[in-house]
Amino acid sequence: MTSALHATDLGKRYGRKWALSNCTLDIPSGRVVALVGPNGAGKSTLLHLAVGLLTPSSGSLTVLDGKPASSAEQLGRIGFVAQDTPVYSGLSIAAHLQMGAALNSTWDAQLADRRIRDLGLDPRQRAGRLSGGQRAQLALTLAIAKRPSLLLLDEPVASLDPLARREFLAILMEVVAEHDVSVILSSHLVADLERVCDYLVVLAASRVQVSGEIDELLSTHHRLIGPRRDLDSFPETVRVIESSHTERQTTATVRSVDPILDPAWSVESLSMEDLVLAYMGQAEEQRRELVRSKGGGQ
């Protein structure tokens, strides 16, 4: 099976600050991937590296088994919609499609025309006069009509109202059902992605916190609630992601392939949002510890 994206120790540094570090990922093709993390976590940096708009400071990266932006063919296999779905506000929709046809050898004019018609848009209209949702749909149309094998979408729905968001994701799913295309979309809103994605990557504090098939992640993560106690007593196969204690009660989010059989714990399953929050919490805790240990050393 080919990889949609394969990264080994990938890092990107701006000046002295690492926007992305020790990023190791192997995302299989054919998935709809949620790239989730707080603002500034490195999501856009990773996507820009994958398109070839940025070059790595360390490590290596292949996308669809090729080096990003290494050839016209490689560029043609990737559709990219940048944050805030930029279009040329002075140009008409028809001019956008003309430009797409001129710039892409694999352009599917029929697909582009049909999608604009289905969206009920007038090709003569200027892009600057479109609503946020329509602009996002135009940008998606341009990215799809080049018939890419991989679609990279940076925060595609963040600025859309709930209805436009739903319509955008519905059309994206139609495209996935109809064409053989992998999708990686970044977002800091998890609720929207839960239904549409089947693979999750959580980025926080410039690092990959967890990645994998969502079904598998949900079946191996549990929330445990029980009387207050130390968490060192778990077998080695149980990894504690996050925990909190009150005087009498301990709550912990753990990863374990084996079921938790200790009757002292009541075991609950997690939603994708719970899972993401637990890993973000873990990253934040590690960051604070780092700051504390640095402060203590001075």
Partner 1 sequence: MIEFRLNSNSGVSPYQQIVQQVKSALRLGRLRVGDQLPTVKHVVGKIAINPNTVLKAYRELEHEGLVAARPGIGTFVVNSYDETTYAAQRTLRRSLEVWIEKARRAGLDDESIEALFVDTFLFSPKELVR
- Least distance to partner 1, CB of residue 102, Å: 30
Interaction of residue 197 with partner 1, rule CB under 8 A: yes
Interaction of residue 32 with partner 1, rule CB under 8 A: yes
Interaction of residue 195 with partner 1, rule CB under 8 A: yes
Give the N- to C-terminal CA distance of the chain in Å, as an integer: 51
Binding partner 1 (rule: CB under 8 A), the pick from 177, 180, 257, 297 is 177
Nearer to partner 1, 130 or 171 (CB): 171
Interaction of residue 174 with partner 1, rule CB under 8 A: yes
Nearer to partner 1, 26 or 178 (CB): 178
Contact string 198-237 vs partner 1 (x = CB under 8 A): x---------------------------------------
Binding partner 1 (rule: CB under 8 A), the pick from 26, 65, 73, 178 is 178
- Least distance to partner 1, CB of residue 78, Å: 21
Contact string 150-169 vs partner 1 (x = CB under 8 A): ----------------xx-x
Using CA atoms, how far residue 163 sits from 133, 134, 287, in Å, is 9, 12, 37
Triad 206, 239, 218: Cα angle to 5°: 80
Nearer to partner 1, 145 or 197 (CB): 197
Binding partner 1 (rule: CB under 8 A), the pick from 69, 91, 158, 173 is 173
Q: Is the dihedral of CA 102, 103, 109, 112 positive or negative?
A: negative
Interaction of residue 278 with partner 1, rule CB under 8 A: no
Nearest to 139 by CA among 122, 153, 150: 153
- Least distance to partner 1, CB of residue 174, Å: 4
The whole-angstrom separation of Cα 220 and Cα 254 is 8
Nearest to 267 by CA among 233, 232, 213, 220: 220
Interaction of residue 114 with partner 1, rule CB under 8 A: no
Residues 80-99 that bind partner 1 (CB under 8 A): none
R_g of the chain, CA atoms, integer Å: 22
Interaction of residue 116 with partner 1, rule CB under 8 A: no
Binding partner 1 (rule: CB under 8 A), the pick from 94, 196, 240, 277 is 196
- Least distance to partner 1, CB of residue 154, Å: 19
- Least distance to partner 1, CB of residue 28, Å: 13
The whole-angstrom separation of Cα 152 and Cα 159 is 17
Nearer to partner 1, 84 or 194 (CB): 194
- Least distance to partner 1, CB of residue 200, Å: 12
Residues contacting 239, CB < 8 A, separation 6+ = 254, 255, 256
Sites of contact with partner 1 (CB under 8 A): 32, 166-167, 169-171, 173-174, 176-178, 191, 194-198
